[in-house]
Amino acid sequence: MAEYDIRTDSKFAVKPDEAVNALKGALLKDIRRSAYVYRVDCGGCNGCEIEIFAAITPIFDAERFGIKVVSSPRHADILVYTGAMTRAMRVPALRAYHAAPDPKICVAYGACGCSGGIFHDLYGVWGGADKILPIDLYIPGCPPTPPATVHGFAVALGLLQQKMKAVHHVQGETERSQLISPQVPLSLRIMIERAARRMAGYWHGKRIADDFLSMVDGGNLSALSESLHAYLQKRDDPRLAEIMTLLKEEYATHLEGG
Amino acid sequence: MMLRPEEKTQRGQRYVQALRQQFGTIIQEETWQAPEQVTLTVDLNSLPAVVDAAYHQHGGWLSVVAGNDERPLNGHFALYYVLSVEGDETHNGSEPESCYLIVRALVPPNKPEFPAVTPRVPAAVWYEREVRDMFGLQPVGLPDERRLVLPDDWPADLHPLRKDAMDYRYRPAPETEDETYEFFDVQGEGVLQIPLGPLHITSDEPGHFRLFVDGEHIIDADYRLFYVHRGMEKLAETRMTYDQVTFLADRICGICGYAHNVAYSNSIERALGISIPERAHYIRTILLEVERLHSHLLNLGLACHFVGFDTGFMQFFRVREKSMKMAELLTGTRKTYGMNLIGGVRRDILKEQRLQTLQWCKELRQEVSDLVGMLLETPNIVQRTQNVGRLEPQVAREYSPVGPTLRGSGFPRDIRVIHPYSAYDRVPWKLTYKDGCDVLARTLIRAEEFFESLSMVERCLDTMPDGPILTEGFNYTPHRYALGYVEAPRGEDIHWSMLGDNQKLYRWRCRASSYNNWPSLRYMLQNNTISDAPLIVASIDPCYSCTERVTVVDVRKKDVKIVPYKELERYCRERKDSPLKA
């Protein structure tokens, strides 16, 4: 038996239609800033749904661009598909698609909607929404933040394209990328960054390592102690003091060892 | 975690003794996974009796049932009925003591069936339907023959969690494109079926409801969920290694993912006997409470929305952004925090973040207390929610719901008190419960818990000890298993994990809080008007995504059976002598 093709072998399959595609081109001009959005959750974890909620409530307020969430696909210009396309939701998702009047814009929202995300190859899902539907726009993220959501819709509505300017950088003959701090040996930098990140986490660790390395003065331990003391007094954070002390010990061992 | 020095002694010995006395040689084996976790292997035919005794005689609540294909290990399928045994108040008048008692029974592969526990303990109904779907073990005596988890288009004899059944990527062609799920068919004069879903207006997520109404009154309800079943448990056992699953656990639920993350990490840390640093306990507690802040504000907002107070909805969402910013500040992301590693956390909280969080806590307390005051002064809200969607204590006792749904019906049950984890036994806090049994009670509990969470965040930030945030250098020991549990915003999340021998999990059973809350929803819907249905559904703060798994079983006194349709028909017509009264 031939392999089952989920996109075409269904009685609900979406068939390409030239006339609709032509209408689609005119859609944006017709709806302008009055876009009705219907959300279809096809197996999302709720993270995407709640961030869409956040995007339409007062702080981010997508309605100022005319983007309104409606409660029936019959009213929709834009369909937003969230979540990995599960087996059980495939037919309801297609029925929602057919229920919306042509022409319409389909958006795949979130990592799972775009590609299936972490669930991409599981038995219970078909992958992203584009496995069964024609998708016009992808809004990635796990989940996309409300600003990313508003940005995505603005792109969908053609509000943004004209404002984007691409810059192409061509590397010059003698141009070389710079080390972040050339005065510190790379091996020392890596060691300190690793230690700091292990103790304080990736994000804090980088900043702590940068601060520490800016105080390292070529192997003069007592000078380092002095500037560390002043630094810590200003910060007044016992946990930071603990981390810095441990970094100093590592640094001292490093000096002795090599 | 978390072998704390003070708790080397095994809790729950008394229940084991009592069960041994009652059942004698039926109990074949006793193993302890942690000081508060004991597994008793029992004779398969006596499984319902033992679970029943633990549930009804020793104050047990059914937490989760895990099926497991142990044929490669010992030649059998295994069933694990996990009960949180908390003792009866009248129990010999001694100090209350609680433990997780796990009743295990082996099912021979040549006769894949087991006696159903549901007729004695209705709370087991979904679990047993799920075990049938996923392992092909037939619960004998379970009246509901319908699928629970697997979609309609899935082949009949393929059980995804059997080890030899299929590759995790196997996608059989759909068997059908029509909905074959059989809903109740309640008929009678003047009874109307209202289908709602799977895509519907009351909530974002897919779920299919059938309400049976006479005029405006809901006579009965049936519903079907699990539209978003993806196969996460299989994924954890195949593609991912055990230490990557923390990040998958975050994606069980977009709202309370961190609770799952902690529950999963705890289960592995217990199984491997890893003790995690104090500071990591505090950071986990802070983040769990930050997650509760945004989740409860979300639900309070929705409660406003469903009674038609949309201004309130928008206002709650406005202030909710502050809790989202708090999460972003502490974890780097608004949702799916990804903060846990096995052995601790990935990111420290330094002074700058601490001060900012404390400042936001102060502002949030003011803003939310203004809003809650406004909400309660709106006459509409009390009228719409008082005595609506009642969950009677007897029904609650039989179905083991969790979280605010249970605490709204007068049970002071909170995992943070009964089985303390992380730093909940180190900082003082107050448990909230109410005996209104209605939507109002559940809403008020969430409001009060919100303020308690704020205080807890502040206390933890103030008293957080210094020191490392991660334990490293432990060993992976094959085939150990243990439970992890967390009181998520919606109630107890529980994870049962068993390690394999290849740096992966052998079996992972994660159960989200809503899974236990759904089955009792039917009783909340009955005898209300149709206009209150969305409000009632929202009052359990359901989370379809993490539940992803209702039924025709009914409590009548202590024995359980299908209420005959004729009986319902009669009830529809006469509207008296309800067959559903407990």
Residues A149-190 have pLDDT tens digits of 998 888 888 776 655 577 888 888 988 888 777 788 888 999
Which of A37-51, A222-236, B8-22 is most confident? A222-236
Environment class of residue B63 by beta-carbon count within 10 Å: exposed (0-12), middle (13-18) or buried (19+)? buried
Chain B positions in Cβ-Cβ contact with residue A49 (cut-off 8 Å): 204-205, 254
> Cβ of A50 and B255 within 8 Å?
yes
Q: Which residues contact B553 (CB under 8 A, 6 or more apart)?
A: B118, B122, B125, B143, B144, B560, B561, B562
Predicted confidence at residue B432, as pLDDT, reads 92
Average pLDDT estimate for B165-194: 74
- Interface probe for B, chosen from A122, A149, A202 (most Cβ of B below 10 Å), is A122
Average pLDDT estimate for B99-104: 94
Average pLDDT estimate for A246-250: 93
Backbone angles phi, psi at B505, to 5 degrees: -90, 145
User: Sorting pLDDT into bands at 50, 70 and 90, what band is A18?
Assistant: confident
Residues 257-316 of B with CB under 8 A from A: 257, 279, 298, 313-315
Predicted confidence at residue B580, as pLDDT, reads 43
Choose among B230, B247, B466: nearest Cβ to A43: B230
Do residues A137 and A36 both lie within one domain? yes
- Closest Cα partner for B178 from A11, A154, A228, A170? A11
Chain B positions in Cβ-Cβ contact with residue A57 (cut-off 8 Å): 313-314, 317-318
- Closest Cα partner for B77 from B64, B90, B68, B66? B68
User: Sorting pLDDT into bands at 50, 70 and 90, what band is B545?
Assistant: very low
Average pLDDT estimate for B20-44: 93
Average pLDDT estimate for B248-252: 90
Identify the H or E element spanning B443. helix B439-463
Q: Do strands B208-214 and B191-196 pair parallel, antiparallel, or not at all (unpaired)?
A: antiparallel
> Cβ of A45 and B253 within 8 Å?
yes
Per CATH, the homologous superfamily of domain B232-525 is Cytochrome-c3 Hydrogenase, chain B (1.10.645.10)
Predicted confidence at residue A176, as pLDDT, reads 85
> Cβ of B348 and A145 within 8 Å?
no
Do residues A154 and A216 both lie within one domain? no
CATH of range B5-145+147-180; options 3.40.50.1820, 3.30.460.80, 2.80.10.50, 3.40.640.10: 3.30.460.80
Predicted confidence at residue A119, as pLDDT, reads 92
> Cβ of A123 and B160 within 8 Å?
yes
CA atoms within 13 A on the CB side of B581: 5
Least confident of A118-122, B83-87, B147-151: B147-151
Tell me if the pTM is above 0.80.
Answer: yes
Asked whether residue B239 carries a pLDDT value surpassing 50, the answer given is yes
Asked whether residue A33 carries a pLDDT value surpassing 90, the answer given is no
Backbone angles phi, psi at B196, to 5 degrees: -140, 105
Q: Do strands B505-511 and B553-556 pair parallel, antiparallel, or not at all (unpaired)?
A: unpaired
Average pLDDT estimate for B300-326: 90
A111-136, pLDDT tens digit by residue? 999 999 999 999 989 999 999 999 98
CA distances (Å), B384 to each of A228, B206, B388, in order?
A: 62, 25, 7
> Cβ of B321 and A48 within 8 Å?
no
Asked whether residue A206 carries a pLDDT value surpassing 50, the answer given is yes
Average pLDDT estimate for A208-226: 87
> What's the CA gap between A50 and A30, in Å, rounded?
30
Nearest residue on chain B to A93, alpha-carbon basis: B199
DSSP B5: G
What SS3 class is residue A136?
Answer: coil
Do residues A137 and A192 both lie within one domain? no
Predicted confidence at residue B3, as pLDDT, reads 42
User: Sorting pLDDT into bands at 50, 70 and 90, what band is B93?
Assistant: low
Question: Does the residue A64 lie in any domain?
Answer: yes
Do residues A192 and A65 both lie within one domain? no
Predicted confidence at residue B197, as pLDDT, reads 58
> What's the CA gap between B263 and B509, in Å, rounded?
11
Which of A36-40, B208-212, B553-557 is most confident? A36-40
B166 interfacial to chain A (CB closer than 8 Å): yes
Question: Does the residue A68 lie in any domain?
Answer: yes
Predicted confidence at residue B192, as pLDDT, reads 64
Do residues A153 and A67 both lie within one domain? yes
Question: Does the residue A130 lie in any domain?
Answer: yes
User: Sorting pLDDT into bands at 50, 70 and 90, what band is B476?
Assistant: very high
Residues 79-138 of A with CB under 8 A from B: 83-84, 86-92, 96, 117-119, 121-126
Chain A positions in Cβ-Cβ contact with residue B315 (cut-off 8 Å): 58
User: Sorting pLDDT into bands at 50, 70 and 90, what band is B185?
Assistant: low
A174-185, pLDDT tens digit by residue? 888 887 777 888
Residue pointed to by tokens 């002064």: B377
Nearest residue on chain A to B197, alpha-carbon basis: A92
Chain A positions in Cβ-Cβ contact with residue B493 (cut-off 8 Å): none
Least confident of A8-17, B192-201, B404-413: B192-201
Asked whether residue B546 carries a pLDDT value surpassing 50, the answer given is no
Average model confidence (pLDDT) across chain B: 84
DSSP B168-209: TT--PPPS-SS----------TTEEEEEE-SS-SS-SS--EE
Do residues A205 and A140 both lie within one domain? no
Chain B positions in Cβ-Cβ contact with residue A239 (cut-off 8 Å): 279, 348, 350-351, 466
What SS3 class is residue A35?
Answer: strand
Higher pLDDT, B143 or B89: B143
CB B270 within 8 A of CB B482: yes
Do residues A151 and A190 both lie within one domain? no
> What's the CA gap between A74 and A98, in Å, rounded?
9
- Closest Cα partner for B64 from B553, B415, B394? B415
A54 interfacial to chain B (CB closer than 8 Å): yes
Q: Which amino acid is at B304?
A: C
Higher pLDDT, A102 or B76: B76
Do residues A146 and A226 both lie within one domain? no
For A64, the token pair is: 């100022």
Asked whether residue B122 carries a pLDDT value surpassing 60, the answer given is yes
Asked whether residue B204 carries a pLDDT value surpassing 80, the answer given is no
Question: Angle at the Cα of B76 (from B36 to B156), degrees rounded to 5?
Answer: 110
Do residues A154 and A252 both lie within one domain? no
Asked whether residue B90 carries a pLDDT value surpassing 60, the answer given is no
Identify the H or E element spanning A37. strand A35-41
Question: Does the residue A2 lie in any domain?
Answer: no
B340-395, pLDDT tens digit by residue? 999 999 999 999 999 999 999 999 999 999 999 999 888 888 888 899 989 999 99
Do residues A41 and A130 both lie within one domain? yes
For B308, the token pair is: 């038609």
Question: Does the residue A207 lie in any domain?
Answer: yes
Cβ pairs A/B, distance under 8 A:
192
B227 interfacial to chain A (CB closer than 8 Å): yes
- Tally of structural domains, chain A: 2
Predicted confidence at residue B181, as pLDDT, reads 67
Backbone angles phi, psi at B221, to 5 degrees: -145, 150
B473 interfacial to chain A (CB closer than 8 Å): no
User: Sorting pLDDT into bands at 50, 70 and 90, what band is B79?
Assistant: very high
Higher pLDDT, B521 or B575: B521
A37-77, pLDDT tens digit by residue? 988 888 888 889 889 989 988 999 988 888 888 878 888 88
Q: What is the ipTM of this complex?
A: 0.90
DSSP B529: B
User: Sorting pLDDT into bands at 50, 70 and 90, what band is B558?
Assistant: very low
Question: Does the residue A24 lie in any domain?
Answer: yes
User: Sorting pLDDT into bands at 50, 70 and 90, what band is B550?
Assistant: very low
> What's the CA gap between B529 and B333, in Å, rounded?
41
- Closest Cα partner for B540 from B412, B441, B395, B419? B441
Do residues A80 and A125 both lie within one domain? yes
CB B211 within 8 A of CB B530: yes
Instruction: Tell me the CATH number at A90.
Output: 3.40.50.12280
Average pLDDT estimate for B216-240: 81
Q: Do strands B113-115 and A35-41 pair parallel, antiparallel, or not at all (unpaired)?
A: unpaired
Predicted confidence at residue B219, as pLDDT, reads 76
How is chain B split into domains, by residue range? 5-145+147-180, 232-525
Give start and end residues of each alpha helix (H) in A167-237. Answer: 186-200, 202-215, 221-235
Asked whether residue A1 carries a pLDDT value surpassing 60, the answer given is no
Nearest residue on chain A to B338, alpha-carbon basis: A142
* Domain housing A226: 186-257
Residues 8-47 of A with CB under 8 A from B: 9-12, 39-47
Predicted confidence at residue B565, as pLDDT, reads 38
> What's the CA gap between B394 and B181, in Å, rounded?
30
> What's the CA gap between B300 and B317, in Å, rounded?
9
- Interface probe for B, chosen from A1, A5, A45 (most Cβ of B below 10 Å), is A45
> Cβ of A124 and B230 within 8 Å?
yes
- Closest Cα partner for A225 from A241, A207, A204? A241
> Cβ of B227 and A57 within 8 Å?
no
Average pLDDT estimate for B504-508: 94
Choose among A54, A122, A240: nearest Cβ to B317: A54
Question: Does the residue A167 lie in any domain?
Answer: no
Average pLDDT estimate for B20-42: 93
